[in-house]
Amino acid sequence: MSPVRALRGATTIDEDTRAHLHDRVVALLAAMFERNALDHDQLVSVIFTATADIHSAFPAEAARRFGLGDVPLLCAQELSIDGGTPRCVRVLMHLESDTPRSELHHVYLEGARHLRDDLPD
């Protein structure tokens, strides 16, 4: 069995609609899978947070559409911090991987790029 690793990511939405949220979350998950050469069977669980200004849909709905229906998914509300990034969805993905933690590629898209400006595109 491979060690359990954690992979982070985030994106933002321009409008609070179910379709737009689904599109952005699917794009985020696809980028996380592509940049890390992930296989569905590596996933242990996925936790999403969304800022309080998102009301249209649960990010986990989009994850199920992406094909993660058999992976444990959880949504929670992000802390409401003054100056925080609005309309932001964050993800914490737990996976089994032999890739060293230092070689994982965390993915921050759209208006969430500034959250981790220390990471390459």
CATH of the domain at 15: 3.30.1330.40
Respond yes or no: is residue 108 known to be catalytic: yes
Respond yes or no: is residue 90 known to be catalytic: yes
Q: Which of 5, 24, 78, 88 is catalytic?
A: 78
Residue 78 sits at the vertex; the CA angle it makes with 105 and 11, to the nearest 5 degrees, is: 40
pLDDT at 116: 75
Residue 69 within a domain: yes
Residue 117 within a domain: no
pLDDT at 121: 57
CA–chain centroid gap for 10, Å, is 5
Quickly list DSSP for the chain: -PPEEEEEEEEE-SS--HHHHHHHHHHHHHHHHHHTT--GGGEEEEEEEE-TT--S--HHHHHHHTT-TTS-EEEEEPP--TTPPSSEEEEEEEEE--S-GGG---EE-GGGGGGGTTS--
pLDDT at 7 over 60: yes
What would the pLDDT profile of 59-112 be if each residue is shown by its tens digit?
999 999 999 999 999 999 999 999 999 999 999 999 999 999 999 999 999 999
- How many structural domains is the chain composed of? 1
Respond yes or no: is residue 101 known to be catalytic: no
Residue 12 within a domain: yes
pTM score: 0.94
Which domain covers residue 100, as residue numbers? 4-112
Q: Which of 8, 35, 65, 113 is catalytic?
A: 8
Residue 89 within a domain: yes
Residue 67 within a domain: yes
Residue 121 within a domain: no
Instruction: Report the distance separating Cα 60 and Cα 65, nearest Å.
Output: 9
What would the pLDDT profile of 16-54 be if each residue is shown by its tens digit?
999 999 999 999 999 999 999 999 999 999 999 999 999
Residue among 62, 67, 52 nearest 19 (CA): 62
